[in-house]
Amino acid sequence: MDITVNISDDQWHQFQDAAKETVEQKWNGKYEDFAKYIMEINIESYVSAQKRRQEKKAKQEQKLYEAALHDESLREASMQNKE
């Protein structure tokens, strides 16, 4: 999938100024290729971060579920002891 990103001329010039040394030394002056690379890295970082958040949330939900089961079993044991 190809995605086109539109940025203002001012933003593009700021990017060119900030990336000038890197692009000239490592990207043969191809700012567009370097910009694509940055987007790919950012997308990969975002996906990784989202996966970590989802895993953390799943672990928290599992702990809450296990705690609820434990509380329920204690209540049941308490009820049986009263009888």
Residue that the structure tokens 């953390």 belong to: 56
pLDDT in tens, 12-69: 999 999 999 999 999 999 999 999 999 999 989 999 999 999 999 999 999 999 999 9
Q: Using only C-alpha atoms, what is the Rg of the chain?
A: 26
Q: How confident is the model at residue 75 (pLDDT cuts 50, 70, 90)?
A: confident
- pTM for the structure as a whole: 0.60
CB count, 10 Å around CB of 23? 19
Q: What is the pLDDT of residue 45?
A: 93
Residue that the structure tokens 């049986």 belong to: 80
Domain ranges of the chain: 9-82
The dihedral sign for the CA sequence 7, 13, 18, 21: positive
DSSP 77: H
What tokens were used for 75? 């209540």
